[in-house]
Amino acid sequence: GNSVTQMEGPVTLSEEAFLTINCTYTATGYPSLFWYVQYPGEGLQLLLKATKADDKGSNKGFEATYRKETTSFHLEKGSVQVSDSAVYFCALTGGSYIPTFGRGTSLIVHP
Amino acid sequence: KAGVTQTPRYLIKTRGQQVTLSCSPISGHRSVSWYQQTPGQGLQFLFEYFSETQRNKGNFPGRFSGRQFSNSRSEMNVSTLELGDSALYLCASSPSDRLNEKLFFGSGTQLSVL
């Protein structure tokens, strides 16, 4: 079956530091890949997505590139802010109607 | 346009009771899916409905059930509650059945089983 593996958190950074959250996946066929963000007390919100190999999703300074050769979709941001503190989920859909999520990575940004 | 609405926001139940959670999707969205979120297991898929039909079901016991109404609103029911059912239950809607569509999540129902 499909699976998503994310780096374990928490990831703790100072403001303006560079962020990378690793995500790798296992899936049959050609899945679509997503990053969702969850702020405290809220549901998940879509951050960005990519639907085919070599696509780059981007939003609010965050980027991720769909790498089929390494089955990865790492999330990056050049300069994080305190307001980016949240839990980030990598997810995929493909081959079935069941979205598969990683376990989430908590990001804590200090001023 | 209103977002996905889940009610109630918080619930406290005791073991052995049953509970019904409600989800109103974004207007026009026909797909509704449910997830259980816990610190230990992360986000796990429960089931998904499209046009009142359950299309997929996750690996949960039969105590977990759901349904979707003609207006796309959905309910999930958990019978004979166990302590391990304590979790945040999230509902998400999607405008179509295409696999690459994003999901729109509600804020969830926090269920505590005592």
Which tokens go with B41? 């297991």
Name which of B50, B18, B21, B53 is nearest B35 in CA terms.
Answer: B21
Nearest by CB to residue A101, choosing from B42, B100, B104, is B42
Q: What mean pLDDT comes out for the span A46-75?
A: 95
How far is Cα A82 from Cα A60, in angstroms, rounded to an integer?
Answer: 14
Burial of A18 (0-12, 13-18, 19+ CB in 10 A): exposed
What is the pLDDT confidence band of residue A97, given thresholds at 50, 70 and 90? low
pLDDT of residue B99: 54
Q: What mean pLDDT comes out for the span A10-37?
A: 94
Mean residue pLDDT of chain A comes to 93
Quick one: which H or E segment has residue B55? strand B53-57
Q: What mean pLDDT comes out for the span A53-65?
A: 96
pLDDT of residue B98: 65
Q: SS3 for A105?
A: strand
Q: What mean pLDDT comes out for the span B52-66?
A: 93
How far is Cα B58 from Cα A66, in angstroms, rounded to an integer?
Answer: 26
pLDDT exceeds cutoff 80 at B101 = no
Contact between B29 and B72 under an 8 Å Cβ cutoff? The reply is: yes
pLDDT exceeds cutoff 90 at A109 = yes
pLDDT over 90, % of chain B: 77
pLDDT exceeds cutoff 60 at A60 = yes
B33/A99 CB distance under 8 A: yes
What is the pLDDT confidence band of residue A81, given thresholds at 50, 70 and 90? very high
B56/A96 CB distance under 8 A: yes
Contact between B92 and B104 under an 8 Å Cβ cutoff? The reply is: yes
pLDDT exceeds cutoff 80 at A39 = yes
Q: Kindly give, in sequence order, each residue whose CB lies less than 8 Å from that of residue B95, ignoring residues fewer than 6 positions away.
A: B26, B28, B29, B30, B31, B101
What is the pLDDT confidence band of residue B2, given thresholds at 50, 70 and 90? confident
A-chain CB neighbours of B35 within 8 Å are: 101
Q: What mean pLDDT comes out for the span A54-76?
A: 96
Mean residue pLDDT of chain B comes to 92
Shortest distance between the Cα of A17 and any Cα of chain B, in A, equals: 27
**CA distance readout (Å), A69 to A11, A94, B113:** 26, 17, 45
**Which residues in chain A (31-90) have CB-CB distances under 8 A to chain B?**
31-32, 34, 36, 41-46, 49, 51, 89
